[in-house]
Amino acid sequence: MTLVILAAGMGSRYGGLKQVDPITPHGEFIIDYSIYDAIGAGFDRVVFLIKKENLEIFKETIADRIAPFCKIEFAFQALDMLPEGYTVPADRTKPWGTAHAVLCCEKAVGEDNFAVINADDFYGREAFAEMAKRLKEDRRGRYLMAGYILDNTLTDNGSVARGVCTTKDGRLVSIEEHTKIYREGEGVFCAGEGAPHPVDKKSVVSMNFFGFAPDVFSIFKKDFRLFLDEKNDPKAEFFIPLALSGAMARGECSVDVFPTDAKWFGVTYAADKPAVMEKIREMTEAGIYPDGLWKRR
């Protein structure tokens, strides 16, 4: 099975290439822990989606470490990777978004079912095990999403973007993207247009951990053309939830949501790093992870 890791973002809020910022004395990154858990669950191939200019740093760090344990491929995301007949608008500088990133991986993925994660998020071992189990089934038109509890996915250092989900009978009904969700006191709020409003902290949210069959590429291509035709905002992004919402509305796919109580953590902001390092240290001392991930496999 293939794991696609979206690592093309530079992390503007964080202030650097956070995907390859060490969080342990052994120089491991958050990506290492995701890959370690994925291999343990049965994934045997990793596709890194990156910017071409970051290829060498990924090869010299994470790729060299994991090469003995799984197959590795690289795919690249660039603004000019567009359908025939389209050109990059003169005022466009922002990447096209996560669904476009998935499209950029089509050749590398091939005919495998595959999972998609962010490079800078910690997802939890149980979520990888459940995703791997379900990806062994025929998933054409029946995709997967790990559903996290909103309150388990927040940072104390600022706002985060989350896709708040509506589900019914274990199926995704809709995802509403919120780009500024934050904790204040005992409550959780969303700052969007108008005054901030409360959000149920027990809401199910997407953390961009999806499972797909290769037929998703034809669906995303269709929706990307629609996105390019309709969006005039130079900062608008073609997110995975946006593409799935269009496909679900047309009856072209469904998305099974499996719940997880795992606590997310990541380095959205530089101030998050010390807390992440402490959590990794605690799990290492508890024996959940070895002291030096790749030394003992």
Q: Where are the alpha helices (DSSP H) in the chain?
A: 30-41, 55-58, 64-66, 98-103, 106-109, 125-135, 216-230, 240-249, 273-285
pLDDT tops 80 at residue 187:
yes
Please report, for the chain, the start and end positions of each structural domain, with discontinuous segments joined by +: 2-146+206-295
Confidence grade of residue 132 (pLDDT, cut at 50, 70, 90): very high
CATH topology of domain 2-146+206-295: Spore Coat Polysaccharide Biosynthesis Protein SpsA; Chain A (3.90.550)
Cα dihedral 265, 269, 273, 274, rounded to 10, equals: -100
Pick the closest to residue 272 from 76, 66, 13, 85 (CA basis): 13
Question: What is the mean predicted confidence (pLDDT) over 131-159?
Answer: 94
Whole-number average pLDDT of the chain = 90
pLDDT tops 60 at residue 18:
no
Residues of the chain with pLDDT > 70, as a percent, come to 95
Q: How many alpha carbons fall within 13 Å on the CB side of residue 116?
A: 28
pLDDT tops 90 at residue 23:
no
What pLDDT is stored for residue 10 in this prediction?
Answer: 46
Tokens of 131: 């995703």
Q: How many alpha carbons fall within 13 Å on the CB side of residue 184?
A: 11
Question: What is the mean predicted confidence (pLDDT) over 230-241?
Answer: 86
Tokens of 214: 């290769």
What pLDDT is stored for residue 11 in this prediction?
Answer: 43
pTM, two decimals, is 0.91
What pLDDT is stored for residue 39 in this prediction?
Answer: 97
Instruction: Please tell me what DSSP assigns to residue 141.
Output: T
Q: Write out pLDDT tens, residues 32-86.
A: 999 999 999 999 999 999 999 889 888 888 888 999 999 999 999 999 999 999 9
